[in-house]
Amino acid sequence: MINVRRRDFLKGSAAAAVGSAVIGWTDGSITAATGPHLEFPTAPRERMAVASWPFRMFIDAPTNKWARDPKLPGMDLKDFGAMVVKRFGLHNIEPLDAHFSSTEPAYLAELRERTQKAGAHIIDVPVDLHDSFYDPDPAPRAKSVEASRRWIDIANTLGCPSVRLHIAGLHDAKPDVDRTADSLRQVAQYAAEKNVVANLENDDNFTEDPFFIVNVLEKVDNPYLRALPDFCNSMMTHDQDFNHRAMKAMFKHAYCISHMKDSEVGEDGKARTVDYAECFAIAKAAGYRGYFSMEWEGKGEPYAGTQQLIDETLTNLA
């Protein structure tokens, strides 16, 4: 979703469900031993979501001020679900943490109410943490765990079944599987208590290398800690062969959310494209039944770009 440099500026109940007709917990007494049990829709359009990240230039939020384009009409995140339903005919959204105007209870309650009233559902919240799970200093690691727990609570309040957690990097330490796993083991245990799945995305190609993520997931070995395969992120620094292997590895550990994108523009202005049909084939072969969130990052404006992703996804899910 967001690489390291772009990230620099972005400084319920146990049976909660995201619309019972669309997705829900089948057992209110789920534990980490049994893992999450979500009822996923099967119709192609119902399996699709729209991420707020591509629309950051329209989102009014205090933590979005560097991405907001004042020349464009604005919207609060509370209206994002209604826009997605009206413009794209989809009913699932994935709002970025930086797009929340507030995390106070009153705002969260209104966000959930307005989203549901529009006929939409929040199916994942991507969270960009500032402290690293693998910091050699245990104090920052503890902060990363606490921040993760806070957003798991927020997701629970919103009736959202999952969050995506970012593995923040450090200038003076390389990614470390053992320390990352130790931190995320604590997060996964808490996620199990709240029935909220925590996901790791192949986002930053240094701190979130897909094979590093898989190593962490296998070391933690908790069904509430899963992979979020992003179709194109690895293409920013690797080739199609690497991406093919990365998607195979990630989808083996994916459960509820994946990012669909057909291209991404790098800091050099060049667009990298991906064989998205192959990614869909890998997901199907892995038995993946979760959501595909449209996260357009190509050239042009996000409304047309998102519609293009929707059309491509419908063709591949038909």
Enumerate long-range contacts of 214-222, CB under 8 Å, 24 or more apart: 214/249, 214/250, 214/252, 214/253, 215/177, 216/177, 216/180, 216/181, 216/184, 217/253, 218/253, 219/177, 219/178, 219/181, 220/181, 220/184, 220/185, 220/188, 222/32, 222/185, 222/188, 222/189, 222/192
Q: Is the pLDDT of residue 27 over 50?
A: no
**HSE (CB half, 13 Å, CA atoms) of 301?**
6
SS3 85: helix
Burial of 168 (0-12, 13-18, 19+ CB in 10 A): buried
DSSP 160: -
Considering the chain, what percentage of its residues have pLDDT values greater than 70?
A: 90
Confidence label for 167 from pLDDT (cuts 50, 70 and 90): very high
Name all domains of the chain by residue range, CATH numbers in brackets. 4-317 (3.20.20.150)
The mean per-residue pLDDT over the stretch 30-55 comes to 88
Looking at residue 269, what is its pLDDT? 86
User: How many residues are recorded in the chain?
Assistant: 318
131 close to 171: Cβ distance less than 8 angstroms: no
How confident is the model over 254-279, as pLDDT tens digits? 999 999 999 999 888 889 999 999 99
- For range 78-107, the mean pLDDT: 98
- As a whole-number percent, the residues of the chain with pLDDT over 90 amount to 86
Contacts of 32 (CB under 8 A, 6+ apart): 188, 189, 192, 222, 223, 224
- Using alpha carbons only, what angle is made at residue 308 by residues 276 and 291, rounded to the nearest 5 degrees? 60
Mention every residue, 6+ apart, whose C-beta is less than 8 A from residue 172. Answer: none
In this prediction, residues 115-126 reach a mean pLDDT of 98
Tokens found for residue 274: 């991906």
- What residues are paired with 201 via a beta bridge? 228
pLDDT, position 76? 98
